[in-house]
Amino acid sequence: MSELQEGPDASRTAVELFAGAGGLAMAVHGAGFRPLLFNEFAKRACQSLQANGAKPRGDREWIPEPGEPWPLVEGDVQDLDMRYLHRRVDVLAGGPPCQPFSLGGVAKGDEDRRNMFPQMFRAMREIQPKAVICENVKGLLRPSFRPYLEYILREMEMPFELRDPAAGWKEHDAVLRAVREVPASDPSKRYNLVVTQVNAADYGVPQIRHRIIIVAFRADLAVDLDQFKRDVRPQYSEAALVRSMLDGSYWERHPTVPKHVRELVMARLPKDMPLMDDGLKPWRTFRDAIAGIDENEGKPLPKIAWDRLDRQEYRAGGFTDHIGWPDARIYKGHTPNELDRPAKTVKAGVHGVPGGESVMLTDDLESSKSKIYRHRYMTVRETARVMTFPDDWKLEGPRGEKMRQLGNAVPVKLGAVFADAVAKALDQAEGRS
């Protein structure tokens, strides 16, 4: 999967803005949508996209044929004209920069110049896609941002209702509220929305990652929104993970876990969690990711030796980016990852520290008499696995840039649930299923 190869049906098409390292791109393409255009601003992320099959588009506007490299435009989305793709796109996807709304940022919200939601609205007008997939941080749900989130949703519902350049968003919101009460004369210029608050762990990602995913369907298609909501319901649960530890099936998958580790994990299991069978699968853990899941099934990552935290790549087992890194430390407010839980949220970087709190506890004790476990930095490859990137997806740049790309990405498996559901909804609405 080192490149986005075409499947048997290449008739569905997609455009992605804010493409980053390609996590959502893989998900959308895997659902059967052929990429017509990708846009990304960050230089290193563009290099990663090219390493996996992208081709710089240049100034000439062109639409790739099935099997051709997908065109990449590097630069500011505000300079990108997409009108040549009008009515040629099934899905517009992207995660506008989230720093304005992130709990870890300065939280300026709509006043922040990095807010790129207006560019998504412009893309909807220029392309008029059948569906839109938009991922962002849960910070949009904070009470202080809630009114602006509701405005964003109304803009996505009615992107062709242009905002007066002299008007503030609250003034435009009042206009949208009034227009919304009147039936649309042209339903193809309105969209029906589904907003889903997600924890990636509930969708098979070995990571706690809270986000919101906004999906919009063009109103003239009359998509069954109730069925779509059923198709994107959680598939995994913490309770199922606890049950698997109690009945031993989790430990059967990991027979080499030291007895002292297993005993500690079992002693810390929640005592008040309802454990009735919910019909869901167990959360995946960091240990599951290292052992190999999905495309990486049966490909365990080799252990990093303590005398090789030296920034040198030894390609043990043929894995790239699985490199030991020195000087990891645990400090207040940055608790480490534990192997038998989903990993903590992978971040793009905190106060100049690449990867934020990307420190992990291992199975190794400081000494035979110690009860303190040794810790180290997660490798880039381990981080990519908790983001559910396949091992053959290439990341370009130094370690810090690779970690930044991963922290900004959409976990592939999370994106796949929503992209697959969008594909199914469009097929049913258009009688293709």
Rounded CA separation 241/248 (Å): 10
Rounded CA separation 426/433 (Å): 9
Task: Take residue 259 and report the two structure tokens written for it.
Answer: 């007895």
Residues in the chain: 433
Which amino acid type is present at position 314?
A: Y
Active-site residue, from 15, 24, 42, 98: 98
Start-to-end C-alpha separation, the chain: 26
DSSP letter for each residue of 160-208: TSPPPTTS-HHHHHHHHHHHHTS--S-GGG-EEEEEEEEEGGGGT-SB-
DSSP β-ladder status, 33-40 and 12-17: parallel
Q: Where are the alpha helices (DSSP H) in 81-135?
A: 117-127
Is 46 tagged catalytic?
no
Task: Take residue 90 and report the two structure tokens written for it.
Answer: 């099934």
Greatest alpha-carbon span in the chain: 76
Q: Is residue 114 a contact partner of residue 97, using CB atoms and an 8 Å limit? A: yes
Task: Take residue 339 and report the two structure tokens written for it.
Answer: 């192997």
Q: How far is CA 151 from CA 178, 204, 335, in A?
A: 13, 31, 36
Q: Is residue 151 a contact partner of residue 92, using CB atoms and an 8 Å limit? A: no
DSSP state of 324: -
Query: What are the φ and ψ backbone dihedral angles of 12, each rounded to 5 degrees?
Result: -80, 145
Query: What are the φ and ψ backbone dihedral angles of 177, each rounded to 5 degrees?
Result: -60, -40
Q: Which residues carry out catalysis?
A: 98
